[in-house]
Amino acid sequence: MSNVAVSSTATDSPVAFTEEWQEWHRLHEEARADRHGFLAVSGLHWLTPRPQRFPDVPGEWHTGEDGPVVALGDGEELIIDGQQVRGRHEFGSIAERAGVTVGIEGAVLEVARRGGHDILRPRRPEHPLRVHYRGTPTYPPQPRWVLSGRFVRFDSPRPTTVGAAVEGLTHVYDAPGRIEFAVDGVPLSLTAFNGATPGSLSVLFTDSTSGVTTYPANRSLTVGAPDEQGRVTLDFNRATNLPCAYTDFATCPLPPAENRLPVAVEAGEKTPYERLADHPVDRS
């Protein structure tokens, strides 16, 4: 039998369960379609030690051990921390998976570090991907996909190297442990990374729906902090796509090999409409 743990909301009122999920997904979609969100990313530029210009951002850029540097020409400027910057500007070393956002004419520019490389990504509100975005299809929310699990902490965090949406790029994450759970009596586990908020966890996974009804490369699930006994709840209804499901200007990590689930997780977000031409899927 499955160790399905249905939330009290779902048990007391299926309508309330669905309404709660709908509100969560509405807010998630609003954030995704923000005027400077990743749907607005209109380019991806890789910095090298050789100074170079790009057609859609001001300045001549290069990078090295001390981080990105821009030399702005006559009439060019950036807005950094609300201040106009002209001439030469040194950003300093940027930590892995970190970045800064600066203003450029009519848009913003992300200066970031991914996979050991410094990159630039302009984000323009008028980018067609954002302007024509019509939402992401999902499975209907079902209480059966709210599962109980147990977080098993490693003796020490394990550096875990994973691939990326960009060929040849890798990411390294410290995995604090794994989450053990079951689906219809099938014991499963997922290597977990640290989440965006203290104590929370994040898992990247694929499953038997990947490349059929869901995006082939990955999906992501945020898991709340474990309790004192290590108990967690995995609500696969809230499994979401990463930016690479929408744009080729993303550097998203791929799941560790052990996170390829041998079951069909028919919950959460499906393949975006924007990718249907590339990955024909069941539209149900």
Please, which pLDDT band fits residue 276 given cuts at 50, 70 and 90? confident
Look at residue 17 and give its three-state secondary structure.
helix
Over residues 265-272, the mean pLDDT reads: 98
Query: Residues, the chain, total?
Result: 284
How do residues 75-121 score in pLDDT, each as one tens digit? 999 999 999 999 999 999 999 999 999 999 999 999 999 999 999 99
pLDDT surpassing 90 at residue 277: no
Question: For residue 273, what pLDDT is reported?
Answer: 94
* Closest CA relative to residue 189, chosen from 181, 197, 199, 198: 181
**Euclidean distance between the first and final Cα of the chain, in Å?**
28
How do residues 6-43 score in pLDDT, each as one tens digit? 344 445 688 999 999 999 999 999 999 999 999 999 99
* Closest CA relative to residue 283, chosen from 141, 136, 145, 137: 137
The two three-digit tokens of residue 149, written as one number = 């699990």
Please, which pLDDT band fits residue 2 given cuts at 50, 70 and 90? very low
Over residues 203-211, the mean pLDDT reads: 98
pLDDT surpassing 50 at residue 167: yes
Amino acid at the residue 264 = A
Question: For residue 63, what pLDDT is reported?
Answer: 98
**In 171-185, which positions are buried (b, 16+ CB within 10 angstroms) versus exposed (e)?**
bebebbbbbbbbbee
pLDDT surpassing 70 at residue 50: yes
Q: Using an 8 Å Cβ cutoff, are 108 and 117 in contact?
A: no
**Which phi and psi angles does 144 have, rounded to 5°?**
-65, -15
- As a whole number, the mean pLDDT across the chain is 93
Whole-model pTM?
Answer: 0.89
| Residue predicted with more confidence, 61 or 278 | 61
Question: For residue 102, what pLDDT is reported?
Answer: 98
